Amino acid sequence: MVILTSLPLFEQNSSFVDYSSSIYDIPYKTFRMRKYDYYIWLDVNGDSLLPSYNRMTIEAVEPTDSVYFHFILRDTAHGSDLSIDSIRFIHGADTLIPYYRLIEDTMVVVHLPMTIPSGQRFLIEVYYHGRAGKRPSFAWGSSFMVGMYWFDSAIFTHSEYYGTRMWLPVFDNLYEKVDTVDARIRVPYGWYAVSNGHLVDSLALPDGIVYWWRESHGITPYMIVFAALDRSRYLILDSTWTYGDVNMPVFVYTDSDTVPTLRYMTQGLDVFSTLYGIYPFYDEKYSEVHVGGGVEYQTNTFSHYIFGQRVVIHELSHQWWGGYVTCGTYNDLWLNEGFATYSELLYMEFADSTDVSGYRRSYYRQYLLRTGIHNVPLNSPQYDGSLMWTYLVYDKGAAVLHMMRYRFWRLYGGQYSGDSAFFQFLQYYKNRHARSYVISQDLEQDVESFTGVDWSQFFEQWVYTPGHPVLDVRWGKELSGSLWNMAVVINQIQDDSWGFFTVDYPVRIRFSDSSIVDTVLPLTGASSDTFYLSFVSEPVSLIMDPDEHILDKVNSLVAEDEINETRLYRIFFRGDNLFIRTPEDDMYRYRIYSVNGRVVSEGKFRGPEYSIVLDVSPGIYIVELLSRTSRKVFKVIK
C-alpha cells in the first residue's frame, strides 16, 4: 500500500522552486488523503478570505500518529498573510484539539492525540483566514504566478505547479489524488462561483450565496481550482455535448458573447472521445473560464478566447492526459504536455482530415532549433527548472509519441491497422492508470505488454538519453546489366553522448520515369549503415523522411557520382538462388530477413562468392553480412 516506491525520494531540486530551504516534499508517509471538503468565504472588497476551512479525510495506510500537509501561510514578498485559527482532529465520536507545528510557514505537522491503526480513517479540519497571495511558479524565466488572483470582477486560483498550497491546506504532490473534492465557495450576491466537477447545490444566505461543487473522480492537487465571477461582467454560455447516450453540459464563462470556444470544445470532445475513450468526466461537465492562463484544471480549464482553437484543444486533451492520468513527477511532465501537444496534431488530422506532416515539421523544428534544450533527457527537465515548460517537454514529447505511433504502423502492417492498434494501446494505458499517475517507465512497460515487442531501445534513445539523430547521407547509383544499383550510406554524426539511434528510417526515391518508391532503411544503432538497393528504373533523387516521422536533423545529403562499394558487393536473386559476391575472401556470417523482420535463413560462408537456395515467396528481403571488420545491410528483391 505504500504508493511511493517507484518515485524518486525527492521530486525536485529544492533550490529551484524558490522556496529556499523549505521542506515541501515528503519521501514517505504512513497516510493517504482521501477527500478534501473545503469552504472558502471570499471578502471581495477586502481581497481576503473570511473564516474558511478544509476538512481532510485521511486514511492511515500504516499506524499513524502524525500527519503533514503543505500550506504556505506567510510570504510577504508575494502578498500572502494567512493565519490558522484552529486545527481539529475527529476520529469516530471524538473531536480533539491536536498539537501542531509549522515548518517554515510551508508545511503543517499535526501530532495526533492517538495512533490510528492502518485502514482507519479520520478527519483533520484546518480553519484559517487572511490574505492568500500568489508567487512565481518556478524560479527562472517565467512571469506565471500561482496562488490566488484578486481582481475587481474575478477572483480565482492558479495552481500549476505547487500553487494549491498557496490558498488551501493540501498534500500538494502530483501523485496524491483524492477520491472526492467538495468545494463550497461563498460569494456576494451578483457573483457566481465555478469549480471542479458538477454543481451540487447553491445556498442563499443573508450575506451571500454558497456554490457547492463536487468533483467525484480522483483529482491531483494542482487540478483543484475555483473562480468567482462578477455576473455583471461575465456571461455564462452553455451548450450540450451529445455522444452516444451521453448528454453533458459544456460552459464558457467569458466576457464576450461571440466566442467560438463552445464549438471547439464540442468538436474536440468528439475527436478525443473517439481516439482515447469517452471524456472521463462525462457525468460532470466541461467548462472554460476566460480569466487567462491557459491551464488545464479538471473539468474546468482556465484560458482566454484570444488564445484561439489550438489552446482550447490542447487544454481539453489534458482532461485525459493530466487529469484522468497524471504524470507522477514533474520529470515526467512530457506524459502530460507531450501528449497534449500531440493531441493538437491529432485533432487537426482527425477533425479536419488535414495532412499534418507540414505541421509536424514545424513542431519538430521548434525543438530542433533550440540547441539549449538538446542535452537533457526528455524525462529529466528538472535537471534545470527553466527547461520544464519548454519545447523539450512539449515538442520532443509530441515527437516521441508520434514515433511510437509510427512504430505501430510498422509493427501492425500499415497506417490503418497500426492506428487501430495504437489508439487501442492509448486506451489500454489510460485505463490501467485511470485516476492515478504514471512515470515514463509505466508507458514503456505498458507498450511492451500490449505489443509483445521490446521497446527498451526506443525509450533508452528517445526518453532516457538526450538528443536526436544528426545524419550525414551519401548515395550513389550504377547501371549493372538491366538493373540500377543504388547505395545509400547513412552516418550518424550527432554528439557522442547521445549514442547512435536504432530507427526504421523512411525514405522516398524518385526515378527518371517520374515514378516514386517509398521504403524504409533500418538504421541499426551503428555509427554508419550502408544500404544497397536495385531498381529497373534510374533513381534520380533521394528524399529523407518525406512525411516527417522521425525527430532528426539531416545535416547533409549528397548524391555522389558513384559508390565504389556497389562494385564490390553484388547480391541478387536468380530464381531461388541468392548469389553473394564480396570484396574479400574473409569469413562472413549472413542473416536474411523478410521485410517484417522474420529470419528466413542464416549461416556462414567464405567469400568472395557464394550462393544459397532460398525457397521463399517473391518480395523484398534484407541481407545482413558481418565480417570481422564490417557490417553491411542490403535490400534485395526476389
Binding site for Zn ion (CB under 5 A): 337, 340
| Residue placing its CB nearer to Zn ion in the complex, 208 or 338 | 338
Shortest distance (Å) from residue 310 CB to Zn ion: 11
| Residue placing its CB nearer to Zn ion in the complex, 72 or 340 | 340
Measured distance CA(5)–CA(311) in Å, rounded: 35
- The region, left, alpha or beta by phi > 0 then psi within -120 to 50, assigned to residue 426 is alpha
Helix (H) or strand (E) holding 506: strand 502-511
| Residue placing its CB nearer to Zn ion in the complex, 362 or 449 | 362
Measured distance CA(530)–CA(624) in Å, rounded: 10
| Residue placing its CB nearer to Zn ion in the complex, 176 or 337 | 337
| Residue placing its CB nearer to Zn ion in the complex, 307 or 573 | 307
Shortest distance (Å) from residue 270 CB to Zn ion: 20
Chain residue at closest Cβ approach to Zn ion:
340
Shortest distance (Å) from residue 322 CB to Zn ion: 7
In a 13 Å sphere around the CA of 560, the CA atoms on its Cβ side amount to 15
Describe the crossing of helices 261-276 and 334-352 by its angle, rounded to 10 degrees. 100
**AA letter at 547:** D
Shortest distance (Å) from residue 567 CB to Zn ion: 54
Judge whether 116 and 91 are in contact, CB under 8 Å: yes
Shortest distance (Å) from residue 311 CB to Zn ion: 9
Judge whether 197 and 181 are in contact, CB under 8 Å: yes
CA angle, 436 then 377 then 381, to 5°: 60
Q: What is the helix, strand, coil percentage profile of the chain, to 5?
A: 25, 40, 35
Shortest distance (Å) from residue 337 CB to Zn ion: 5
Shortest distance (Å) from residue 448 CB to Zn ion: 27
Shortest distance (Å) from residue 315 CB to Zn ion: 7
User: What are the beta bridge partners of residue 112?
Assistant: none
| Residue placing its CB nearer to Zn ion in the complex, 227 or 335 | 335
Measured distance CA(522)–CA(633) in Å, rounded: 9
| Residue placing its CB nearer to Zn ion in the complex, 398 or 486 | 398
Shortest distance (Å) from residue 303 CB to Zn ion: 11
Judge whether 223 and 319 are in contact, CB under 8 Å: no
| Residue placing its CB nearer to Zn ion in the complex, 337 or 442 | 337
| Residue placing its CB nearer to Zn ion in the complex, 60 or 312 | 312
| DSSP string of 514-537, one letter each residue | S-EEEEEEEEESSSEEEEEEEESS
DSSP state of 264: H
| Residue placing its CB nearer to Zn ion in the complex, 310 or 606 | 310
Beta carbons within 8 Å of 623's beta carbon, 6+ residues apart: 571, 578, 580, 590, 591, 592, 633, 634, 635, 636
Cell numbers found for residue 300: 474546468
Shortest distance (Å) from residue 131 CB to Zn ion: 29
Of 322, 314, 270, the residue nearest 288 (C-alpha): 314
| Residue placing its CB nearer to Zn ion in the complex, 221 or 467 | 221
Of 445, 447, 456, the residue nearest 422 (C-alpha): 447
| Residue placing its CB nearer to Zn ion in the complex, 313 or 507 | 313
Both ends of the chain: CA-CA distance in Å?
Answer: 58
Shortest distance (Å) from residue 219 CB to Zn ion: 17
| Residue placing its CB nearer to Zn ion in the complex, 11 or 337 | 337
Measured distance CA(503)–CA(403) in Å, rounded: 10
3-state SS class at 397: helix
**AA letter at 177:** K
Measured distance CA(483)–CA(487) in Å, rounded: 13
Measured distance CA(596)–CA(411) in Å, rounded: 8
Shortest distance (Å) from residue 301 CB to Zn ion: 10
| Residue placing its CB nearer to Zn ion in the complex, 37 or 337 | 337
Measured distance CA(469)–CA(400) in Å, rounded: 13
Shortest distance (Å) from residue 333 CB to Zn ion: 9
Shortest distance (Å) from residue 147 CB to Zn ion: 19
DSSP state of 371: G
Rounded to the nearest 5°, which phi and psi values hold at 582? -115, 160
Cell numbers found for residue 603: 549461416
